[in-house]
Amino acid sequence: MAGHSKFKNIQFRKGAQDKKRAKQFSRLAREITAAARTGKPDPNANPRLRTAIQNARANNMPKDNIQRAIGKSRDQTSTQEEIRYEGFSPGGAGIIMETLTNNRNRTASQIRNILAKKGGQLAEKNAVSFMFQRMGEVFYPLNELSDEDALNAAIHADAEDHRITEDGHFFFSNPEKLTELADALAQKLNKHGAQRLAWRPQNAIPLSNADRDRLINILQELDECDDVQHIYANAERDDGTPNLMPPL
For 208-246, the DSSP string reads: -HHHHHHHHHHHHHHHH-TTEEEEEE-BBPTTSSBP---
Residue 6's pLDDT is: 45
pLDDT score, position 161: 95
In the prediction, which pLDDT does 3 show? Answer: 44
* CA–CA gap between residue 37 and residue 153 (Å, rounded): 33
pTM: 0.85
What single letter denotes the amino acid at residue 141?
Answer: P
248 residues of the chain, pLDDT tens digit each: 554 444 455 555 545 566 677 888 888 999 999 888 888 888 888 888 998 998 898 888 999 999 998 988 887 767 788 999 999 999 999 999 999 998 999 999 999 999 999 999 999 999 999 999 999 999 999 888 899 999 999 999 999 999 998 889 999 999 999 999 999 999 999 999 999 999 999 999 999 999 999 999 999 999 889 899 999 999 988 777 777 877 76
For domain 17-72, the CATH class is mainly alpha
pLDDT at residue 37, as a whole number: 87
- Of 95, 122, 92, 119, give the one whose Cα is nearest residue 110: 122
Q: Beta strand 132-141 with 168-173: parallel, antiparallel or unpaired?
A: antiparallel
pLDDT at 88: 97
Give the CA count within 13 Å in the CB-facing half-sphere of 173: 23
Burial class of residue 113, CB neighbours in 10 A (0-12, 13-18, 19+): exposed
Q: What is the pLDDT of residue 7?
A: 46
Cα angle, residue 105 at apex, residues 20 and 72 outer, rounded to 5°: 55
Q: Hey, where are the domains in the chain?
A: 17-72
Q: How far is CA 218 from CA 21, 149, 184, in A?
A: 20, 35, 36
> Which contiguous run of DSSP H or E holds residue 147?
helix 147-156
